[in-house]
């Protein structure tokens, strides 16, 4: 009876962990890209928690949500694929950009449960959108440029410090930027074009 009970708990726990997982497919890569300290290959499917890291001049593009969403990780970056709760009311999940830069592209309704991304400083809940996100360990800060759609940008250290970043806007938090509130700015076309040309595979 005791063995059966323990087995049931293990099965329940395993099912719960599996339900939290988000499946990613490596649709393109360039240079040296590692997953849990082993070389990652194009076409590989990743559905376990772990760290994807890129070296200098290396990139990787991941698809998720039935291939309706993409995350493109830039050089010298780390993305933690461990799924964490972003909004329990909506049963939505997020992954974490630990350092470097990532570009997120996807339609909100088609992304499955992955509805956001975290950094050490910020929580980002997304709708149908396209944005470039950067985080710096050295300055303990994050910044975002939204190319399309809308992003809810929230200070992890102070949930009352939040803002909506819209198409064509920039926002920053931590380090040199301070708080989110009141510091969202509109960017000129030339700068937006620069960011739009970045992290494309």
* 27-50 tens-digit pLDDT: 999 999 999 989 999 999 998 899
Residue 122's nearest CA partner among 148, 102, 147 is 102
How do residues 10-32 score in pLDDT, each as one tens digit?
Answer: 333 333 343 456 899 999 999 99
Region class of 176: left (phi > 0), else alpha (psi between -120 and 50), else beta: alpha
Q: Which residue has the tokens 């950067």?
A: 134
Quick one: pLDDT at residue 37?
87
Secondary-structure percent of the chain, ordered helix, strand, coil, rounded to 5:
15, 50, 35
pLDDT class for 170, splitting at 50, 70, 90? Answer: very high
Cα distances from 187 to residues 121, 171, 191, in angstroms, run: 22, 10, 6
pLDDT on residue 20: 56
Closest of 47, 115, 104, 116 to residue 74, by C-alpha:
104
Tens of pLDDT, residues 102-144 = 999 987 777 788 889 999 999 999 877 999 999 999 899 999 9
Q: Indicate if the alpha-carbon torsion angle 128, 66, 87, 131 is positive or negative.
A: negative
CA dihedral 117, 123, 128, 130 (to 10 degrees): -70
Structural domains of the chain, ranges and CATH numbers in brackets: 2-196 (2.60.120.1440)
> Model-level pTM?
0.86
Encoded tokens for 132? 């470039």
Phi-psi region of 15 (alpha: psi -120 to 50; beta: other; left: phi over 0): alpha
pLDDT of residue 7: 43
Predicted pLDDT of residue 21: 67
pLDDT category at 195 given cuts 50, 70, 90 is very high
Higher per-residue pLDDT: 68 or 146: 146
Answer yes or no: is pLDDT of 187 > 90: yes
The pLDDT value given to residue 88: 78
Count CA atoms within 13 Å of residue 94 on its CB side: 20
The DSSP-derived string for 124-171 is EEESSEEEEEEEETTTTEEEEEEEESEEEEEETTEEEEEEEEETTEEE
Query: In this model, does residue 168 exceed pLDDT 60?
Result: yes
Burial grade of 181 (CB within 10 A; 0-12, 13-18, 19 or more): middle
pLDDT in tens, 69-102: 999 999 999 999 998 988 878 788 899 999 999 9
**The pLDDT of residue 3:** 44
């Amino acid at each position: 009876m005791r063995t059966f009970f323990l087995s049931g708990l293990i099965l329940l726990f395993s099912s719960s962990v599996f339900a939290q997982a988000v499946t990613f497919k490596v649709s393109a890569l360039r240079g040296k890209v590692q997953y849990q300290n082993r070389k990652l290959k194009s076409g590989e499917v990743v559905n376990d928690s772990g760290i994807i890291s890129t070296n200098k001049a290396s990139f990787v593009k991941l698809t998720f949500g039935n291939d309706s969403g993409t995350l493109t990780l830039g050089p010298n970056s780390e993305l933690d694929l461990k799924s964490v709760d972003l909004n329990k009311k909506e049963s939505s999940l997020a992954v974490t950009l630990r350092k470097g830069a990532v570009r997120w592209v996807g339609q909100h309704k088609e992304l499955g449960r992955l509805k956001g991304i975290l950094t050490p400083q910020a929580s980002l809940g997304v709708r149908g959108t396209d944005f470039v996100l950067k985080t710096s360990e050295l300055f303990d800060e994050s910044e975002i440029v939204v190319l399309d759609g809308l992003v809810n940008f929230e200070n992890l250290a102070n949930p009352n410090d939040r803002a909506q970043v819209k198409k064509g806007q920039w926002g920053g938090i931590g380090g040199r930027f301070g708080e989110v509130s009141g510091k969202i700015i509109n960017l000129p076309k030339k700068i937006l074009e620069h960011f739009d040309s970045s992290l494309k595979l």
